[in-house]
Amino acid sequence: MYYFKSLERPISNLELSEIEKKINVILPEDYKEFLLKVNVGIPKEQYLSFFIDDLNEEVILGTMLGISENKNFSLTDWNSEYQMELPYDSFVFGTEYGGGLFVMIVSGEDRGIYFWDHTFIFDQSSVDSNVYFLADNFTNFIEKLYISEP
């Protein structure tokens, strides 16, 4: 199911609760399962990509964030940095090779997985329009990833 190599040690349910407190979000069960199995993850082989219909572009998954002393991989550090720019009940859970971020909104009518082109890597993105819907939930997001060539 998962095409990820873990870069960190496994985490506990207690650590999951600590993450939820630090980022002030109740994590969905499918995402918690991923963190318990993988924690910080990178693609095992080659590249994992996601096609964004609204952009007619492919993005390449960089890292799935988790508990790490390395700030580049730390879920809490990334969310601390961007919390003022994120909607309520949302968090950054992954990075993209071009500098974009994968964001999950866990409640409300906008609930789902999004690509946030906050660095404006795509010509179509602007200050007013740089967030693109990807999937209804984390499981659906993982299922839509595909192996691509560099």
In three-state secondary structure terms, 42 is: strand
Question: What's residue 2's pLDDT?
Answer: 57
Residues 6+ apart with CB under 8 A from 56: none
Question: What's residue 147's pLDDT?
Answer: 85
Nearest Cα to Cα of residue 145 among 46, 35, 49, 47: 49
Only one residue has tokens 């299922």, namely 143
Amino acid symbol at 79: N
Q: Between the ranges 3-7, 101-105, 143-147, where is the mean pLDDT highest?
A: 101-105
In this prediction, residue 150 has a pLDDT band, given cuts at 50, 70 and 90, of low
**Contact criterion met (CB below 8 Å) for 96 and 88:** no
Question: What's residue 46's pLDDT?
Answer: 78
* Percent of all residues in the chain with a pLDDT value above 90, rounded to a whole number: 83
| Model confidence pLDDT, tens digit, residues 42-84 | 988 778 899 999 999 999 999 999 999 999 999 999 999 999 9
User: Helix crossing, 13-23 with 29-37: angle to 10°?
Assistant: 120
CA 118/CA 86 separation, integer angstroms? 11
Question: What's residue 1's pLDDT?
Answer: 41
Phi, psi for residue 38 in degrees, rounded to 5: -115, -40
Report if pTM > 0.75.
yes
